[in-house]
């Protein structure tokens, strides 16, 4: 039997074709879970060229892929940074699928005008990144965690941080600080949830070949320089992150608690 058979997973930020969230959602389904997928309701005008050419429809397309695997899918447009959206997300999940067993906090702020020195960082950009990366993780966890406790059958919460939450990198300040916050949030939450048999862990991806990182992963001097910092000399694939999340969500992760796991080709190690 699939190791997640009968489970219901929520994966936030899962609408991009070349994104970690979509690959996590598909991994959940491949291992037997029904999946709720959220997106921010991106306008098709903002889609990458690849998505426009293929007629991609954000979380609706991911839902179709999940259903093609024989699992139930529930796409919900929701902003993780809004308490009312997070509460509605969990309520709709319980109403439509009956329960919440797994939460994957993947939604993250996209790169924007925050990638500047701290002394040049606008307060509005600081708040934007903070609200999505850290407040959003808190809010969705608040409501999903309460649902798991009420069920009384344990559960899994997996937070997606970043290796930038482990090391200081110039002009990545707002993102790095929030991702470091996710790591400590994971540890505190793991202590609080352990009595309820809810496992809480964190994953720190390194350079992953997603659409958001295409300027770094395409051939060129920047690509070559960054590959020189990665012992495995290649970017990771979002599918590899998806399989790690599925492992932590399954029986093999039952004795792993409060841990932060790098999936970075050895970059932080080096």
Torsions phi, psi for 95 (to 5 deg): -65, -40
264 near 207, Cβ under 8 Å? Answer: yes
Determine, yes or no, domain membership for 268.
no
Which residues, 6 or more positions from 220, have their beta carbon under 8 angstroms from its beta carbon? none
Determine, yes or no, domain membership for 2.
no
What is the C-alpha to C-alpha distance for residues 185 and 188, in angstroms, rounded to an integer? 5
Determine, yes or no, domain membership for 270.
no
3-state SS class at 232: coil
Residue whose token pair is 């991994």:
27
pLDDT at residue 71 in the model? 97
**CATH number (domain holding residue 30):** 3.40.50.720
Determine, yes or no, domain membership for 244.
yes
3-state SS class at 42: coil
pLDDT at residue 128 in the model? 95
Catalytic residue among 17, 143, 175, 255: 175
Mean pLDDT by 10 residues, the chain (270 residues): 88 96 98 97 92 96 98 96 96 98 95 92 96 97 98 98 93 95 98 98 95 78 88 95 97 97 93
pTM of the model: 0.95
Residue 1 vs residues 51, 153, 219: alpha-carbon distances, Å: 34, 19, 42
What is the C-alpha to C-alpha distance for residues 143 and 86, in angstroms, rounded to an integer? 7
pLDDT at residue 131 in the model? 95
Determine, yes or no, domain membership for 269.
no
Determine, yes or no, domain membership for 107.
yes
Active site residue 17: no
What is the C-alpha to C-alpha distance for residues 182 and 161, in angstroms, rounded to an integer? 6
Q: What share of the chain is helix, strand, coil (3-state, %, to 5)?
A: 50, 15, 35
pLDDT at residue 270 in the model? 78
| Structural domain that includes position 205 | 8-263
DSSP lists the bridge partners of residue 155 as 198
pLDDT at residue 175 in the model? 95
Determine, yes or no, domain membership for 121.
yes
pLDDT at residue 245 in the model? 98
Domain count, the chain: 1
Alpha helices in the chain (DSSP H): 20-30, 49-53, 59-68, 83-97, 123-130, 136-151, 173-193, 214-217, 221-227, 238-249
pLDDT at residue 139 in the model? 98
Determine, yes or no, domain membership for 1.
no
């Amino acid at each position: 039997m699939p190791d997640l058979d009968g489970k219901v997973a929520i994966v936030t930020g899962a609408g991009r074709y070349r994104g970690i969230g979509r690959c996590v959602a598909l991994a959940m389904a491949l291992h037997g879970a029904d999946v709720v997928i959220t997106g921010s309701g991106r306008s098709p005008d903002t889609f990458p060229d690849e998505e426009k050419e293929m007629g991609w429809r954000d979380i609706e397309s991911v839902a179709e892929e999940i259903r093609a695997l024989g699992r139930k899918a529930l796409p919900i447009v929701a902003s993780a940074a809004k308490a009312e959206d997070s509460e509605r997300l969990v309520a709709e999940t319980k109403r439509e699928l009956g329960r919440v067993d797994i939460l994957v906090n993947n939604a993250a702020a996209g790169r924007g005008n925050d990638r500047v020195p701290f002394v040049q960082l606008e307060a509005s950009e600081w708040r934007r990144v903070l609200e999505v990366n850290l407040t959003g993780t808190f809010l969705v966890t608040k409501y999903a965690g309460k649902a798991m406790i009420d069920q009384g059958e344990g559960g899994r919460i997996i937070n997606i941080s970043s290796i930038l939450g482990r090391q200081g990198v110039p002009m990545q300040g707002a993102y790095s600080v929030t991702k470091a916050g996710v790591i400590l949030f994971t540890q505190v939450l793991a202590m609080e949830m352990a009595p309820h048999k809810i496992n809480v862990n964190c994953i720190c991806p390194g350079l992953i070949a997603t659409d958001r990182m295409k300027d770094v992963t395409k051939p060129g001097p920047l690509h070559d320089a960054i590959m020189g910092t990665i012992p495995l000399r290649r970017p990771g694939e979002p599918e590899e992150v998806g399989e790690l999340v599925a492992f932590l969500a399954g029986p093999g992760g039952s004795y792993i608690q409060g841990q932060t796991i790098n999936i970075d080709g050895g970059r932080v190690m080096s």
